[in-house]
Chain A
Amino acid sequence: MAAEVNKQPVLEVEDLDIVYDTEHGPLDAVRKASFAIHEHESFGLVGESGSGKSTLAMGAIRYLAANGRIAGGSVRLNGKELADVPRHEMRHLWGSQIGVVYQSPLSALNPSYRIGRQIAEVAQLHMGMDKAKSSARAIEMLTKVAMPDPESVMRRYPHQLSGGMLQRCVIAMALMTNPSLLIMDEPTTALDVTTQAVVLDLVWGLKQQFDSAILYITHDLGVVAKICDRIGVLYAGEFMEQGDLRQIFHTPIHPYMLNLLGCVPHFDLGQAKRSLVCIPGFIPRIDELPDGCIFAERCEWAEEACTVERPPFVHTKDDHYTACRRWEIVPPVDEHVFAATSELAQRGGGEDEAHLVEATDVRKIFRTPSTGLLGRGERHDIHAVDGMTLWISHGRTLGIVGESGSGKTTVARTIIGLEEATSGEIKLHDEVLATSLSKRPRSVLKEIQMVFQNPDASLNPHTSVGEAIGRPVRLLTDASGAEIQARVLELLDAVQLPSNYYYRMPGELSGGEKQRVAIARAFAADPELILCDEPISSLDVSVQGALMNLLMTLQAEKGTSFLFISHDLSAVQHLSDWISVVYLGHMMEWGDATKVLTPPFHPYTEALLSAVPVADPDAKQANIRLEGSVPSAMDIPPGCRFHPRCPRCLGDICRTEEPPWREDGGDHWIYCHIPLEELREMEAGTLELATERGGAE
């Protein structure tokens, strides 16, 4: 990067203030933001929801909602001041000098037009090309983003392509004019982890190939660590820290960044389940900011002087800026994050422990509605869960990890009875359960509860917190009125919510608080098993960390078993005693958590581990990428269902014969044709990250 410091930056933002005019007066969404990006450089704008990262990026290129405006400061693109350029002139810059890639590629493309037309449009508009030339240019760009068969993709409609393919189209569209600035707004957040890895590789390659400066917006510290050269950490509309990626990740000099790193589970794979270092409190409301440091309220190093006036954003050393007055005393990451965690429990759940739940060869087939006249047309079977056998020991956590369409949610729903299993057997305490929820006695209902992904949808907006938590107590136990209330208050305390939340309505709570209520409700009837279906996926990094701590603490106290479902391998490894890796309705590998995540691996597990974004710029991961996308559960490939995408496919045997379950000790099984010895040898490369992290402890 040293060579580029002398050159003029592509984008230079200085003391930018962005204001939204609201009914209650002006809202200073972004205050005094400064940063610069050079050619070939990617700058990561990192922050949790409400930090103003999208507002800053879109404000810098003058694309704000009607009530938003730049209230001060300057933005220069290749030296040209943008803050007072008239709007029609901005339109010339958009699309030609500035390309944008969005979070959800499907909704970012017009559903009614073919891909080709939408990409070519940019060249017709800005490069004066006619139809034929612009199409040729579009095909050229699609080829550059490694799109297979670009000619046929040009003729497709957006709904006919997978998410990863669509994101390539959007990237190709953004790069058509070779823009000097490329803004990428969470471009991989909506994608599956294996697809995300492919797209990130692509962005990395394009960075070298094109001259564009990249402004990369994300909340995901793992993605940032993979893709960015420099980063800026935003908090409630202000930069807290800015500088070189490695420097910030290794020696953060702002307590907020330090604590954010603490909230992310690391692949430690130790025998102990550890707590995460979390940030107490909440992001302050932008209209109620304190006079002093805006992070002081949540900072363990804050002193009286921090609350008096807003500390300036200062340059410290090399290329490193901080908004902390006391940055010199901020401890190193290793000391604070990896050493200060406390052990919560030992991993376990082996063969010797009694099983609470056993599911044997569970299948769930959905039938598509018929299409023909009077319902006589073809119907298709969707094999959502295609023969899964698993168990959960008392007081242990089984993590199920898999990409979308793997059937992980459906298997949980058949266990609790929300979906009736098509075949197979589910036992609780060695007693076979009825498949249908309505046929299960109250005593069984009481023992299995669930926490859903989206707390907004799973809490009735017209039911107060107290009532919501009290309901399962009333319905499933014999408690009296006063006992119910006492129990609810006890639960609120257990999920670390103040007792005055009893009368609050869900609308008054933040996302994290709602999920705490949902967790309290799941624990209300004192169940033996709680199914957690992506309970933290929709939440911010710091809230995720706090909830994972909460789940582990509650489990240690109450001895509850968890089935934890997630697409996020790092969260699953952090919480689980046992892990099941599922693909297209079938388990690929399962067993003791430590063993699943160390060799021998199933090739799919290996690919997942290689793709998972790790919040460590120096993590060494094998470069294994899966082609294509998960096939439809209506048409499961014969033989090993993973073979069409498997980088280690052996040939005919994988295509025709179902693989055997290979046993590795008494607590680890792999569903693969490749013998264990070979699996053990081939995949040692993936482990480097784990050993490094272990050394940091």
Chain B
Amino acid sequence: MARYILRRLGFIALTLWLASMLIFAATQIIPGDIATMILGRFASETAKNNLRVQLGLDRPIVVQYLSWLWGFIRGDWGVSLSSDSAVRDIVFERLRNSAILAFCAFIIYVPLGIILGLIAGLRRNSWVDSTLSVGSLAFIGLPEFVSGIILIYIFALQLHWLPSQSSVDYSLGFWPNMPMLVLPAITISLTSLAYILRMQRSSTVEVLEMDYVRTANLKGLSARQVLFGHVLRNALLPTVTVVALGIGWLIGGLIVTETVFSYPGLGRLLLFGIQRRDLPLIQAVAMIIVIIVGLANLGADILYAYLNPRIAYK
């Protein structure tokens, strides 16, 4: 197992290296000149050239890439071009904010999706099942900027229960900011909830038809013992994978949702960086996202292996 995890970490490092090249290449082909962006359109050519030398932009691409990569590994992520502060500090603060929001969403949609999926699966073809299935399908099709705006309209503008903007300030602690987290967390949850619900429903239906469930019933176990003792663990297996793969989705959802609610998170930071051509910022945020997705997948595989003894790692 330890060897397996080490090997998988090796794979993540490899993925990161490939991703770093792609990210670096992508930031090179973003149109627009950085010096012009920073100094303004009317700056003199000499000033721009000086700035380029200062930023190291006159060096060959490969050298620029290697020095950036080495810096990133050492924890020196450079200085933001748009705000003059260290990229690492900005990214970590925003990462924490996003993590809080993602966590709030996560504890809503994962348990809820699993429970609703189980109910739909156990009551297959009943009205409960059809309502949940149709309802979840509707949410899968609804993008965050639509569902977010609908929620804002109802709960903020009409009912005045919750704020429409989520300009949180965690220096005040978590609870004062709680009301501002509710709507964005629900917005993010809706899409992912639907995926998990549908996955959990179909795996429950599948497991219920397995011979070992018949065995469990004919052992004389009660319906509850059969469900929690024999069905649940097997029916959770496919869902675990979906939850982990969903973390990639979650980040996509974060970018949109944070923008809709003006939430100061990683997603909005990335968008901001792109708008300002803030290369060090974009690069760092993109790398962080790749690391998160890689680790989430590893976590899912380890959990899957723990739950499923048929997976043997060599």
Contact = CB atoms under 8 A, between A and B. Distances in A.
Interface residues of A, number: 33
A665 to B, nearest CB: 49
A125 interface: yes
A61 B309 CA distance: 33
A170 B215 CA distance: 9
A95 B234 contact: no
A157 B310 contact: yes
A94 B222 CA distance: 11
A157 B310 CA distance: 8
A122 B219 contact: yes
Nearest to A119: B219
Contact of B307 (A96, A112, A157, A170): A112
A111 B312 CA distance: 13
A159 B309 contact: yes
Interface stretch (A25-33, A99-107, A317-325, A348-356): A99-107
Interface stretch (B99-107, B206-214, B251-259, B292-300): B206-214
A100 B215 CA distance: 8
B10 interface: yes
Contacts, number: 76
Contacts of B310: 111, 157, 159
Contacts of A173: 215, 219
A112 B218 contact: no
Q: Which of A61, A114, A125 has the most CB of B within 10 A?
A: A125
B50 interface: no
A342 to B, nearest CB: 44
A98 B309 contact: no
B207 to A, nearest CB: 10
A96 B220 contact: yes
Contact of B215 (A108, A112, A372, A373): A108
A112 B217 contact: no
B124 to A, nearest CB: 10
Contacts of A371: 314
A91 interface: yes
B309 A110 contact: no
Contacts of B222: 88, 91
Contacts of A113: 230
Given A94-B217, A125-B220, A125-B221, A373 B212 contact: no
B140 to A, nearest CB: 29
Given A96-B220, A102-B214, A373 B7 contact: yes
Contacts of B249: none
B211 A111 contact: no
A95 B218 contact: yes
A657 to B, nearest CB: 33
Interface string A476-510: 00000000000000000000000000000000000
A126 interface: yes
B218 A100 contact: yes
B233 A98 contact: no
Q: Which of A61, A100, A372 has the most CB of B within 10 A?
A: A100
Interface in B285-314: 307-310, 314
B219 A95 contact: yes
Given A159-B309, A159-B310, A373-B10, A107 B211 contact: yes
A444 interface: no
Nearest to A126: B220
B220 A108 contact: no
A98 B215 CA distance: 12
Nearest to B314: A371
A95 B212 CA distance: 14
A388 B221 CA distance: 52
A355 B230 CA distance: 57
Interface string B224-238: 010001100110000
Interface string A222-244: 00000000000000000000000
B217 A109 contact: no
B10 A111 contact: no
A425 interface: no
Given A112-B308, A112-B309, A159-B309, A91 B214 contact: no
A92 interface: yes
B220 A102 contact: no
B212 A111 contact: yes
A173 B215 CA distance: 10
B11 A373 contact: yes
Contacts of A372: 7
A63 interface: yes
A91 B221 contact: yes
Given A159-B309, A373-B10, A108 B212 contact: yes
Contacts of A61: 218
A108 B216 CA distance: 9
Given A112-B307, A157-B310, A107 B212 contact: yes
A126 B220 CA distance: 8
Interface of A: 61, 63, 88, 91-96, 98, 100, 102, 104, 107-114, 121-122, 125-126, 157, 159, 170, 173, 371-373, 377
List the 9 closest pairs (A to B, CB-CB), nearest first. A95-B220, A107-B211, A95-B219, A94-B220, A110-B212, A157-B309, A108-B211, A100-B218, A94-B218
Given A109-B215, A110-B234, 12 more contacts: A93-B220, A98-B218, A100-B215, A107-B210, A110-B230, A111-B212, A111-B234, A112-B233, A112-B309, A121-B219, A159-B310, A377-B314
27 contacts: A61-B218, A63-B217, A91-B220, A92-B220, A93-B220, A95-B221, A96-B220, A100-B215, A102-B211, A104-B211, A107-B210, A108-B212, A108-B215, A110-B216, A110-B234, A111-B234, A111-B309, A111-B310, A112-B309, A121-B219, A122-B219, A125-B219, A157-B309, A159-B310, A170-B215, A371-B314, A373-B11
